Chain A
Amino acid sequence: MAAKLADLAARMDQLNEFDREPVSESRLQGAGKFAGLFAGEHVAATEFVIGAFFVIHGVAAKDLIYGLLLGNLLAVASWTLVCAPIAVRTRLTLYWYLRQIGGPGFMMVYNVANAALYAILAGAMISVSATALADLIGLPATPLGSVLPTSAGWVAIAVALGAAFTLMAVLGFNALSKFAGICSPWMFVVFVAGALATLPKLGVAPDLSNLWEVLSTKVWNGQPTPGQEQYGFWQITFFAWFCNLAMHIGLSDMALFRYAKRPWYGVFTATGVYPGHFLAWLCSGVMVAAVGREMTPGRMAYEALGIAGVFAVVLAGWTTANPTLYRAGLAIQSVTPNWPRWKITLACGAVTTALACLPVFFLRLLDYVALYGLILMPVGAIVFTEHWILPRIGVGKYLGGTPGVILNWRAAAVWIGTLAVAWILPMHLFYRWLPCWFIAVISYASLRRIGR
């Protein structure tokens, strides 16, 4: 068993070999590069759904605006104060740093968990695209509480789109990812243009004199759709904060920030989150209000911008699903011995397409995003503790880097234990990650100190 694990670990290391060394001084990037890198980073298919859900959950206009401003600020602060400083000091990806801390066995479990979460996310994106085509051919909207598909037509569309997206990912990620980059500025403009074109339908006067009145009574009026939980300021704040939890507190973005000259370059994430997680969410909220608050991203976009709107939803789903499929494939490459790249992508695509047939993943997207961050968050907490706290309490670093150590069992115990606590914690799902982060930090530091 140990030999098999060591073999898998060696294969996994080989895949990430080119990232093994810390980034050299000559390859560091300046501030301008980072500002450009993050701009347009957070405009995706999810934005059509998330902004619309805030309306369905009956958020009041002021709560939404203040909540998003604060939540995004906290997210930017998390990138700047937690993720970027560790990345700049180590110049390593999370993969290699975590491998040193948790050992190759821990790394493998993390990769598989990541792949599963990515596959679900990509499935949700395909579902969003499917809503656009389903609406175009006249299929009824999927009811909000649905778990299983409501018609054979929906399944057929989801399968067709999933197959097409997978095929494109198999044929060439590099060429297509370049094209996906082209879509991003256009999609952002589509959100703004769609909201602008919808305003007259909601009764906003051309001189904008009644804009606030319309927004606070017809869009974010504080009345949830029947059967939906009402969200307020704190839910919105926490959602905006944790929707990229895996990237900042979970430290996935160390892969990007290891190239930063200074840790404060984390502030440049603001160029991505404010257009995407503020403006685009507001715009999709305006669009959903004009279609009777039904969760049909396709109809929202069609009513606002016609065929170009439908095209935007399908394209947004594809541009998000494509890199997600790639990442999922990369994450499980280590546990699929000798499989060529195309076969892994195909397998991931098949799983993702099957998940896309279940509308529950996009209809419960807000909860899923919360769970996604929550599941990966303890790993970030463990790395944070190793990096900042253990040296200060006199405990040596890098337990997993010791030869012969396959799994840092303390790290594994903290990960599982933190998730168990999160499961039973009597508070809203959106808030659980924060106390759990402290629990993970304290328990890992304690376990490491005891076992010194």
Chain B
Amino acid sequence: MKHVLLAAAVFCLFGLLWSSWSFFLGNLPREVFLSQIQWMTLGWFILATRWAYKK
């Protein structure tokens, strides 16, 4: 279970980078980009915190 949490958290970080790259290429409007960044951030903190504190 811990591995799944970690993998999902890392996926959020990659998602964050991917959104930025898409925005740089002009494929994403700014509002969509910012919204994606916020969701990925939220995802990272929930999953990584669960991972770190899970025994």
Contact = CB atoms under 8 A, between A and B. Distances in A.
A182 B49 CA distance: 7
A306 interface: yes
Interface of B: 13, 16-17, 19-21, 23-26, 33-34, 37-38, 41, 44-45, 48-49, 52-53
Given A197-B33, A200-B24, A305-B37, A182 B45 contact: yes
A45 B16 CA distance: 20
6 contacts: A186-B41, A186-B44, A196-B17, A196-B21, A197-B20, A206-B26
A189 B45 contact: no
Contacts of B21: 196
A384 interface: no
B37 A308 contact: yes
Contacts of B37: 193, 305-306, 308
Interface of A: 178-179, 181-182, 185-186, 189-190, 192-194, 196-197, 199-200, 204, 206, 305-308, 311
A306 B23 CA distance: 13
Given A305-B37, A308-B34, A308-B38, A192 B26 contact: no
B8 to A, nearest CB: 14
A178 B53 contact: yes
B13 A189 contact: yes
B48 to A, nearest CB: 5
Contacts of B13: 185-186, 189
List the 6 closest pairs (A to B, CB-CB), nearest first.
Answer: A193-B20, A306-B34, A196-B20, A182-B48, A308-B37, A206-B25
Nearest to B14: A189
> Which of B21, B26, B34 has most A Cβ within 10 Å?
B34
Nearest to A186: B44
Contacts of B25: 206
Given A179-B52, A182-B48, A189 B33 contact: no
Nearest to B53: A178
A306 B13 CA distance: 17
B44 to A, nearest CB: 5
Contacts of B52: 178-179, 181-182
A200 B29 CA distance: 12
A196 B23 contact: yes
A316 to B, nearest CB: 13
A286 to B, nearest CB: 11
Contacts of B38: 306-308
B34 A305 contact: yes
Nearest to B34: A306
Nearest to A305: B37
